[in-house]
Structure 1
């Protein structure tokens, strides 16, 4: 009898041990629903490579669950409707994690569709990993339990720049562009009421080929500073038009290091360019290793560090729950603290916004201290100032509806 009980206890212990490590070596698919073709295709393609590279190179500490992440590319062509069709396809294929970032015009409806799909299909829940769509609505009035944002929230960063007097705003004509303008105007009015906004334009996302008319308006307005939240082709073509017109006023931007823009900057005389982002070009340590390894493999720049945080957080949550079930993983992600690329990072439980510090970095020629060569231009974004997460954090009005 005692022997039987001991055998049963031993078997139970083995079963528990098996359950604890059931996910080790398991493959988890992540559907990357992104614009991989069209005007913004080069950015999406870079980020696809980023997801795949990081997934392949996570070490044991970064991947405590021992998961093999397989990133499945799905080209939305930057279309919201196509993205929703691809979400349905991913669910039908049994994929339970989706990633998207380029464009809140896609991110907002995708988040809503994920929530509705999960309500209609219990047992087929999906977690949405948002690595770049920064519309504040996603973590405020349109917050969704199944959505987790690993990019930073918008913040103000120009109050201490005393040379700014006349600002021109150029942004893309969708939710993100309007939010950049809104937040900037609110911040400047509060912190620098002496600054005058002398002009404001919105451009159709990925549609404008000639930015010369916009540059002419900036010059005519007498602006001494340009502020933009634009990215990809739109920012690159704007810089090229500034170069052609000989307009070399300072630029303050969120995405100056994104594919194509560093090359355009290096071909002109715009010396003062500041980028506000959760990272910069010259990390050392682990992120320096990944950045250099990515460059060696693809001859391209790794700049979407939120991909790293997304994968590390997923593995950490899976290790804690001993499961890859998205229902359990989503619960574990709420309030999760993990070691991100800027040190300890937390996913705020109230709205699922990662609490990230922010870097102000400046465009300059590479030197001994800042040697990372962006797009092989001989230039880099060197760190100037770091804003701790508690400073960069923004409040939330999210009233999240959680599943019962």
Structure 2
């Protein structure tokens, strides 16, 4: 009788669910008809992950495992499970209505993750680790910016309440000039003056160190992003930080995104139906990855100021009576479509390595080129160095050089 039960257990299909934490993962198993079979807790170590997979396999053939937090606390379990050939599905935390109805605990969340994998409500594959380095550099660069901003704000607030002599001397300075002046201070005077000047000097030096740190991280990030996806980095208006954010949002495995509409929804750039009765309308999405939405917004602003095609589009939409906010929403949706193509397909970048040598062999200055095309010399320089992609300008520039 025991052997028959064991054979039946080995043949049945089961689904797993994992509620992940920093030190433990709670694993639940359900049958293919949703029945609860068992649950247990394991440590977040190599031995714990192996025991968790053995626990799942002991109850039958594991069809899929729903994991909550595949890119955070569940990253270790996800890595091990996928290396053993298991299908791992990314599961969002249960919605608030369900939590109010059935409560919250580790077993409840683990069973909810298993049911999400069984029902098909969760279908997204977890992100792979090819963008892990980009994510780490991006987070470090952003934290450096936040810390620098905090130090600059502290300098401003300290100068507001500083003694009048200090406030009159340094309060009128702005930007880098103020930071450089404060960093060179030699505190003198009474106790109050020495203390305030010492604090300002420390904050100014912190700003300079964080600025240098951010520049170094941005340079490393630019190299990683360009190597990973040169087509995305070469798109107009896409800088290192913006490209990194889009890669982190999409993940290194683009097959997890099925359509460009789903990517637009992921970025919060797709209009959401808000119809009822005789009302038929759409509203702006307030969901999705807001950092990715902000990245699309920055691209739209850059193109509105420096891209001739975008400026012409904005002029047409303005003439049609649309507001600036409405135009930016339309641009973000169109940019999301373009970014999806860059993320999911190989986009070839036209070569520009021949432009500078060709110009130099003919002894033509950047100023002369800029005057001919009606742009700033820095624009030509950035196109030559590959820091800015403008295919029309590059083709016209090459033809002009060859004819010169």
Greater percentage in helix = 2
Tell me which of the two structures has the higher relative contact order, counting C-alpha pairs closer than 8 angstroms and 6 or more residues apart.
1
Greater percentage in strand = 1
| Bin for the TM-score computed over the shorter chain | under 0.3
TM-score when normalising by structure 2: 0.27
TM-score when normalising by structure 1: 0.27
